[in-house]
Amino acid sequence: MTAQRIRPADLVVHGGTVRTFDAEDTVADGLAVRDGRVVAAGAVAGHIGPDTEVLDLAGRTVLPGINDAHLHATWLGARWPHPLLGAPHEETPVVTAGDRRSAILRAGDVCASLGITSYTEPGLGPGETGCFAAEVVDEYAALHREGLLRARVTVLRLFGLLDGPSALPDFASGLATPVPAADPEWLAVTGVKIFADGIPPMRTAWTHHCYADGSHGALLVDGPDDDTRAVNLAAMITLAHEAGLVVGVHATGERSIEAALGHLREGDHLVHGDLVTPAQLRRMAGRGVGLTTQPAIATAMRPMVATALGDEVAAKAWPLRQILDAGVRLTLSSDAPVVTPDWRIHLAAAGELLGARGVTPELTARLLRCYTTEAAAQDGSATWKGSLAPGMAADFCVLADDPLGVALADLPSVAVELTVTGGRIVHKG
């Protein structure tokens, strides 16, 4: 009997700490990659052949690639490096196919440099223009055909205006419009985004609390009164489900969360959830309805919520500890370019929200899962991406230090030195 020969790996990294984030939280000392997939985590020597690219980690740490569950990449590319919550900045107009292409490619550079290997473009559709137009999806498909995408993209379609109104007839006709065919591991149009309301600082979150002018906000979905608008929101969610799509609902006020929650099902998610209540969190956990929220927006906006709704309401907003304790399927995300796409800064902000002091490896691991395995689950792709077990997509990043060994507040200074998407090196720092 001769030992069966192993086909050599395309890429091997070794000599460091590989945090696989598999079900057992396996930590390995190396990773072997072939045909874009992980073939071994640990014991990689036998996978090295004459043509294998071998990288010595020299003690550095490998994490699964970061998956930003809510990132307006095309808009980010058009504004880079200027976030919306920052000094006023004239945005590069995105009008032509060439504009769309360069914005997406610029966002690809930014993502690769940050270790981001997947993201969700939350809201591209026929009612919008510029960075949010339906044609952006076509450009993604073209870039994928040309092998130029450096991160995997999940798209939520939008049949109204971003941060604005939508109407049921437009939603229904939008659903019937085609999307370009593409390899779903790289460009997956999985769902729809619906704007239920606005945000508390603009007094557009729909809430039982009272703004300084006596108003309460309202649903953005078209209708003559609150009840009709809620019925139309429910009808949109039902139509999306009937089309086999998942639903992401932008909802910041607890009344709009309430209006959506009764109609959402497992696999759907709420976006932001600023004023979510403990009772709503329990229902979300029980029904498998997820939440994606942005810690660095929470820390930046809390004073504005206090101005709009008072200190007491602001203190209870973004209840990250309760979200985690309730067992809600939580993803963390940036909503870039509203704020930075840098996940290290968002995790530091999450630490601030949680009052985390010092080094808490378990908490850091939990939060990193919200940017990796949980985000893959939101994409409906947990079976093949998000962790680094054998068979999974070879999407990973190499960090100068082990994030589980530093305080969350110090994470932003941990360098991202290498990013690999689908077994291909897309960034080398």
The residues that touch Zn ion, with contacts defined as CB under 5 A, are 335
Closest distance of CB 71 from Zn ion, Å? 8
**Closer residue to Zn ion, CB minimum distance, 132 or 140:** 132
**Closer residue to Zn ion, CB minimum distance, 124 or 399:** 124
**Closer residue to Zn ion, CB minimum distance, 371 or 396:** 371
| SS3 per residue for the chain | CCCCCCCCCCEEEEEEEEECCCCCCCEEEEEEEECCEEEEECCCHHHCCCCCEEEECCCCEEEECEEECCCCHHHHHHHCCCCCCCCCCCCCCCCCHHHHHHHHHHHHHHHHHHCEEEEEEEEEECCCCHHHECHHHHHHHHHHHCCCCCCEEEEEEECECCCCCECHHHHHHHHCCCCCCCCCCCEEEEEEEEECCCCHHHCCCCCCCCCCCCCCCCCCECCCCHHHHHHHHHHHHHHHHHCCCEEEEEECCHHHHHHHHCCCCCCCEEEECCCCCHHHHHHHHHHCCEEEECHHHHHHHHHHHHHHHCHHHHHHCCCHHHHHHHCCCEEECCCCCCCCCCHHHHHHHHHHHHCCCCCCHHHHHHHHHCCCHHHHHHCCCCCCCCCCCCCCECCEEEECCCHHHCCHHHHHHCCEEEEEECCEEEEEC
Closest distance of CB 67 from Zn ion, Å? 16
**Closer residue to Zn ion, CB minimum distance, 44 or 251:** 251
**Closer residue to Zn ion, CB minimum distance, 274 or 335:** 335
Distance CA 14, CA 46 (A): 12
What residues does 66 pair with on adjacent strands?
A: 116
Residue 25, both tokens: 């939280």
Closest distance of CB 387 from Zn ion, Å? 26
**Closer residue to Zn ion, CB minimum distance, 62 or 370:** 370
Closest distance of CB 72 from Zn ion, Å? 6
**Closer residue to Zn ion, CB minimum distance, 162 or 398:** 162
Closest distance of CB 416 from Zn ion, Å? 23
Closest distance of CB 19 from Zn ion, Å? 29
> Residue 89 contacts by C-beta under 8 Å, 6 or more apart in sequence?
79, 82
23-27, Cβ contacts within 8 angstroms, sequence gap of 24 or more: 23/387, 23/389, 25/365, 26/389
Closest distance of CB 344 from Zn ion, Å? 20
Could you tell me the sign of the dihedral formed by the alpha carbons of 344, 345, 348, 350, in that order? negative
Give the residue nearest to Zn ion (CB): 335
Closest distance of CB 123 from Zn ion, Å? 7
Closest distance of CB 91 from Zn ion, Å? 16
**Closer residue to Zn ion, CB minimum distance, 335 or 402:** 335
Residue 370, both tokens: 């919200």
**Closer residue to Zn ion, CB minimum distance, 254 or 335:** 335
Contact predicate 292/317, CB 8 Å? no
Closest distance of CB 20 from Zn ion, Å? 30
Distance CA 393, CA 384 (A): 6
**Closer residue to Zn ion, CB minimum distance, 170 or 335:** 335
**Closer residue to Zn ion, CB minimum distance, 12 or 246:** 246
Closest distance of CB 310 from Zn ion, Å? 25
Residue 342, both tokens: 């840098």
